[in-house]
Amino acid sequence: MNPFSSESRPSEEPLYNIGLVSRMTGIPVATLRVWERRYGFPSSTRTPGGHRLCSEKEVLRLRWVKARVDEGMQTSQAIRALQHLEQEGRFPDAPFAASPQAPAPPADPSFPVFRERLVEVLLAHDTQQADRLLGQLLSLYSLEDLVLEVIGPTLEDIGQAWHDGSITVATEHLASNFLRQHLLMWMSSGPIPFAGVAPTILACAPEEWHEGSLMMLGVLLRRLRWPVAYLGQSVPLADLGVLIRQIKAPAVVFVAMSEQPARALADWPQHLPDTNQGNKLIVGFGGRAFNQRPDLREAVPGVFLGETLREGAQKLDQILRAAIRPGV
């Protein structure tokens, strides 16, 4: 079974911040906060940073209540009616669909169109419109597809625009950090991780400063319920040994986008001589450098995880399951 297949039922995984929920339902943020305080509705969870997150199912419940309120029912009565239907098992458990109150998505609902639109609004410094667009995408596609088919290519387009000199450093930073913040939020708010499993360490190779693919891998792994310890850019190999021992990490994954950082990874066994004591450390690696120079794969000890992020996440998932056999 493909671990990234879409669910036919609305997910109960918290994904949407309150701003996105407001735009997807047509309910003002202030009203949502009043409903939560007064009625305990909708049900939400909080990230470690204190941000409210709602699931697809909660958005469906909110849309149902709003429709009843728009018909003239009092809010408290609408919520009680919803709860009564749920108790009787009669609330529609339908696939998630776009809200009629939300702005209409582009006429061509294809990833290239969404990608082009996202690049356009980000380079125009319109982060509010970019946020609305991500909300539309999350109502239409799985988070995995959004990350792989839209966010990743958008980061590449932004980087290329900076490299070509068509945008300023300030614009590149604004656009990239907007996407980076969302990736970090999704990484920290994935499904409940496997119990009793130590986190997998994710690190860029020494002198590697491009962390977009590493963050996307972190999101995919969290969606597969693996806890992650995200270290980010340019991690010195000498610093990893102590951390691996302290958190008893089952695996470490390196990403290298250019040749020099990739070659630096060949030395990792010298810096981690005793990390395998009592528990065999899984070391995986990937990135553009290994795709462009396949010979580099032979120079680095460990497991090459594949040429794509989807392949890498699935391969690491299989390796971890075979080594750890996590409980549900």
Q: What is the pLDDT of residues 261-315, one digit of tens each?
A: 999 999 999 887 665 444 588 999 999 999 999 999 999 999 999 999 999 999 9
Question: What's the pLDDT band for 91 if we cut at 50, 70, 90?
Answer: low
pLDDT for 321: 92
Q: 223-256: string of b/e by CB count within 10 Å (b at 16+)?
A: bbbbbbbbbbebbebeebeebbbeeebbbbbbbb
pLDDT for 50: 73
Please give the order of strands across the beta sheet that includes 52-54.
16-17, 52-54, 45-46
DSSP 93: -
CA distance 35 to 41: 6
* Domains contained in the chain, CATH given: 16-87 (1.10.1660.10), 111-188 (1.10.1240.10), 200-324 (3.40.50.280)
Scanning 11-165, the segments in alpha helix (DSSP H) are 18-25, 29-39, 56-70, 75-87, 111-123, 127-140, 143-146, 152-163
| Amino acid at site 140 | L
Question: What's the pLDDT band for 84 if we cut at 50, 70, 90?
Answer: confident
pLDDT digits (tens, 9 = 90+) for 219-252: 999 989 999 999 999 999 988 888 988 898 999 9
- pLDDT at 99 exceeding the cut of 50: no
Of 93-97, 119-123, 143-147, the least confident = 93-97
pLDDT digits (tens, 9 = 90+) for 171-219: 999 999 999 999 998 888 777 788 899 999 999 999 999 999 999 999 9
User: Rg for the chain (alpha carbons), in Å?
Assistant: 22
pLDDT for 8: 45
Higher pLDDT, 182 or 71: 182
Cα dist. 96→71, 113, 138, 233, 256 in Å? 22, 21, 10, 36, 37
Write down the pTM of the prediction: 0.70
pLDDT for 26: 83
- pLDDT at 19 exceeding the cut of 80: yes
- pLDDT at 4 exceeding the cut of 70: no
Closest CA to 262 of 296, 218, 306: 296
- pLDDT at 56 exceeding the cut of 90: no
pLDDT for 118: 94
| Amino acid at site 292 | Q
pLDDT for 94: 38
pLDDT for 15: 80
CA distance 234 to 207: 5
Residues in a beta bridge with 252: 201, 283
What is the total residue count of the chain? 328
Q: 281-306: string of b/e by CB count within 10 Å (b at 16+)?
A: bbbbbbbbbbeeeeebbeebebbbbb
